[in-house]
Amino acid sequence: MQHLSEEWLIQGNHDRAVGRDEDPHCSGPYQVLAAATQAVSARLLSAEQKQFLAGLEPLQRFQLGKAVFVACHAVPSAPLYHYLPQTSPVTLWESELNAAGHPDFLLLGHTHEPMKTRFHQTLVINPGSVGQPKHGDARAAYAVWVDGEVTLRRVGYDHEQTIRAYDGLGLEPHTVELLAEVLHTGGHLPLESAR
């Protein structure tokens, strides 16, 4: 079994925002939730933990066996903030593969929507999201890589236990209600409620 190394860790937009006290540049409906949870994270994390998050790289290249990987939070050309859904034109995906250097595997996140698709020799994988789905499925989404084979998986979990964990964090009740709505519905967030 291979051990986790720092080159396998990537910085997401919220990691950077907490670590550097910046705007995470999230989508409009989620800005209220992002601001509230960022304030909690900033209060609970030590200076050393914030420095760790601030120092992570948003794009990493590494090799596992003979397979070459590029991992980034969003896309290689804009590793923190750009949204590129699977349904985007092939020309945009080809541009990202060029920016990544055509690895065997391109690992992405940011959209929180699971995907597994091949563009030429590159398998592009987004495992989805464990705790903040945006794809209409309330189960935790993740991917498993074994000897070059990738499987997208989902598993149900106790949303109520997660929601109870929000108690004592100093979040406004309205914010907790919105976070609960996201967990229960797999990402549905009423636009009028987020204001």
Distance of alpha carbon 158 from alpha carbon 107, whole angstroms = 27
Could you give phi then psi for residue 151, rounded to 5 degrees?
A: -125, 130
Cα Rg for the chain, rounded, in angstroms?
17
Residue 61: strand pairing partners: 70
Res. 77: pLDDT tops 60: yes
| Six-digit token string for 134 | 């945006």
Could you give phi then psi for residue 29, rounded to 5 degrees?
A: -60, -25
Domains within the chain, CATH numbers bracketed:
6-185 (3.60.21.10)
Least confident of 17-31, 44-58, 94-108: 17-31
How many CB atoms are located within 10 Å of the residue 70 CB?
25
Q: What is the DSSP letter of 167?
A: T
Res. 56: pLDDT tops 90: yes
Q: Is this model's pTM higher than 0.75 or not?
A: yes
Q: State how beta strands 59-64 and 67-72 pair.
A: antiparallel
Banded pLDDT at 5 (limits 50, 70, 90): low
- The residue type found at 104 is D
Res. 4: pLDDT tops 90: no
Q: Is 107 helix (H, G, I), strand (E, B) or coil?
A: strand
Res. 133: pLDDT tops 60: yes
Res. 2: pLDDT tops 80: no
CA nearest to 193, candidates 167, 163, 173: 173
